[in-house]
Amino acid sequence: MRTINQEHIIKLIELINKGPFFKLLSMQVRELSLGYCKLEVDLDTKHLNPFGGLHGGVYASLIDTATYWAIYCDLDEDVGLVTIDLKVDNLSPIKDGTLIVEGKAIKVGRTICLSEATVRTVEGKLLSHGTSKTMKTVGLQSINQAVQNMGYDSLPPKFIETKE
């Protein structure tokens, strides 16, 4: 039986959080497990539209990110994902504070995966909800490519074998 290697997850979160887009949006992965991802973002003026509210593209980026990583632990080695459809419903404006984004896998199929994410304030107010359809890709957008692109040598193995 395969089990997610927690050493892999720790090193992966470190790698992800150093990614250029993550740094641009100041988002941080806080948790990553089977079917689940949690992100946090401390809002700054760079996240705002000209009217002083959070830009809708930030909501979309957060939901796209959380839904992707919610699926990750279910994928075999060297399998990546590409988003083929992203639906975002922005439900409430905000201009400052910390956002908590939670992604959850709904269905991990042979080729297509479905996941959802919510964006909330730390007090729990729902700001945005979205769903994402992603397509599995062997050797494309895999974690191995991210490791190489980010200049890392390698990550610990994703899975460890356990006896039943």
pLDDT in tens, 56-107: 999 999 999 999 999 999 999 889 999 999 999 999 999 999 999 999 999 9
Q: Which helix (H) or strand (E) holds 14?
A: helix 6-17
CATH number, domain with residue 133: 3.10.129.10
Q: Give the pLDDT confidence score for residue 14 in this predicted structure.
A: 97
Are the C-beta atoms of residues 101 and 69 closer than 8 Å to each other? Answer: no
Determine, yes or no, domain membership for 78: yes
Determine, yes or no, domain membership for 80: yes
Determine, yes or no, domain membership for 119: yes
Q: Give the pLDDT confidence score for residue 164 in this predicted structure.
A: 67
**Whole-prediction pTM value?**
0.95
Radius of gyration (C-alpha) of the chain in whole angstroms: 16
Do the bridges between strand 126-138 and strand 112-121 make them parallel or antiparallel, or are there none, so unpaired?
antiparallel
Which of 80-89, 104-113, 143-152 bottoms out in mean pLDDT, i.e. has the lowest? 143-152
Determine, yes or no, domain membership for 38: yes
Determine, yes or no, domain membership for 32: yes
Q: Give the pLDDT confidence score for residue 162 in this predicted structure.
A: 78
pLDDT at 1 over 80: no
Determine, yes or no, domain membership for 50: yes
Provide the residue range defining the domain that includes 116: 2-147
What's the helix, strand, coil split of the chain in %, to 5?
A: 25, 40, 30
Determine, yes or no, domain membership for 160: no
* Average confidence score pLDDT of the chain: 96
Q: Give the pLDDT confidence score for residue 79 in this predicted structure.
A: 95
Q: How many domains does the chain have?
A: 1
Determine, yes or no, domain membership for 93: yes
User: Residue 111 contacts by C-beta under 8 Å, 6 or more apart in sequence?
Assistant: 135, 136
